[in-house]
Chains A and B, each alone.
Chain A
Amino acid sequence: MNGICPECAAEVELPGDATSGEIVTCGDCGVDLELTSVKPVKLETAPEEEEDWGE
């Protein structure tokens, strides 16, 4: 199963058992991607980690 990186258009290989919500890294540009749909395969930029203070 492969997808297309929305940042650099590279082909991204996905694990065979990947499910919605899987986080993968684009081998070309290094950005983290979230598999938001399996059929059809759709990759979106994964949420970045924001810093927040408090509990």
Chain B
Amino acid sequence: MALDRAYAEQLLEDMVRTESLSGEEQAVAALIVERMKALGYDSAEVDGAGNAVGHLGSGPRRLVLLGHMDTVPGEVPIRREGDLLYGRGSVDAKGPLATFIAAASLAGAAPDWTITVVGVVEEEAASSKGARFVAPLWRPEACVIGEPSGHDAVTLGYKGRLVCEYRYAQGTSHSAGPLPSAGQIGVAFVNAAQAAADELNVGQKRVFDQISPNLLSIHSENDGLEESVTLTISWRVPLWFERESWEAGLRAVASGLDEEEGSHELRFYGSEVAYKGTKNNPLVKAFLAAIRSQELKPRFKVKTGTADLNILGPVWECPILAYGPGDSSLDHTPNEHISLDEYWSGVQILREAVQRLTQG
């Protein structure tokens, strides 16, 4: 089946209309596999993790185009308003994934190459199950992650992440007494963590290069015998971040705050390292030329969030970037939408980039 703009737009709209919260991607995976087969992919199937995987060609050199199928919750009424398609996932990240499916079909198989297009599950969940499942399966020569960069930009890197849960408890004391309350201890921990980040951030001008704290929750309670505070902090962390020394520093802070009758628990989890790919490689060159071929001026981006690039970049160690039409400031918002003109431009740019990379 020849793919044209109308088919590409219908593909995206059908994907957006198929709900796919994290862990509930079966229906959209089946839809994607069906469309890959209709478009002439050499094979397409749902893998053991629930990912939709299609291949074009069977050569020893592999290009992986990988985007996520799942969305965050929140119903955004699906509608077209002029050039705009509204709906949950239209930008994050069914727009980029539909771009991959369409562009790979248009680019076609190349001698010596296998083009693998993957719609992965659970990127929006902390598990990143889909990306972790495929990480050991292949050793691609290049990889593109599907996230909205804008059709004229490529994203070179993402910050990492670390989360901690801190709990402090002590015997209840009279509020008129000299001991700080558990709540005050919790606030002192948050402030100490902020000060530690501020100290390390000195001289770092870009947010991408800073440790960025976010207090996710804080709760104190008192049952008459014991008072306690529980809090969760998430840090978006830069390339230079040293997790072990950071954790050791905060463990020392927590111990220093313990009163004689109090004790704390501290747990770190959700760690993702920051990752940034290089600029001078065949993949970036192909994109720069492809973007310029559409008479656009290419842009580079680095992002303060995290994506599956954080997981696959360090494992595959190949040229890697993120690409996709759409405005990432609309991610997770009730106003999520994508320009269909930009979407189709993204399809053309990616087709050109894939052909430049695999066909010279």
Contacts and interface: CB of A to CB of B under 8 A. Distances in A.
A27 interface: no
Contact of B331 (A46, A47, A54): A54
Contacts of B297: 47
Nearest to B333: A54
B328 A54 contact: yes
Given A23-B280, A55-B331, A47 B299 contact: yes
Most interface-central of A19, A47, A48, A50 (chain B CB within 10 A):
A47
B285 A20 contact: yes
A52 B285 contact: no
A21 interface: yes
Contacts of B288: 20-21, 34, 36, 47
Contacts of A55: 92-93, 147-148, 158, 303, 305-307, 328, 331
B305 to A, nearest CB: 5
A21 B331 contact: no
Contacts of B302: 49-52
Nearest to B327: A54
Interface in A17-54: 19-23, 34, 36, 46-54
B44 to A, nearest CB: 25
A51 B285 contact: no
Interface residues of A, number: 17
A54 B292 CA distance: 25
A50 B301 CA distance: 5
A43 B147 CA distance: 29
Query: Which applies to chain B's interface (DSSP): helix, strand, loop or mixed?
Result: mixed
B284 A52 contact: no
Given A22-B280, A23-B279, A53 B329 contact: yes
B208 interface: yes
Interface string B268-292: 0000000000011000111111001
B305 A54 contact: yes
A52 B324 CA distance: 14
Contact of A51 (B279, B280, B301): B301
A15 B295 CA distance: 26
Contacts of B208: 51
A52 B279 CA distance: 17
Contacts of A34: 288
Interface in B227-283: 279-280
Contacts of B158: 55
A49 B286 CA distance: 18
Nearest to B92: A55
26 contacts: A20-B285, A21-B286, A22-B285, A23-B280, A47-B153, A47-B299, A48-B300, A49-B300, A50-B153, A50-B299, A50-B302, A51-B207, A51-B303, A52-B149, A52-B303, A52-B304, A52-B329, A53-B207, A53-B305, A53-B329, A54-B304, A54-B305, A55-B92, A55-B93, A55-B148, A55-B328
Interface of B: 92-93, 147-149, 153, 155-156, 158, 206-208, 279-280, 284-289, 292, 297-307, 328-329, 331-332
Given A52-B155, A54-B328, 5 more contacts: A49-B301, A54-B303, A54-B331, A55-B328, A55-B331
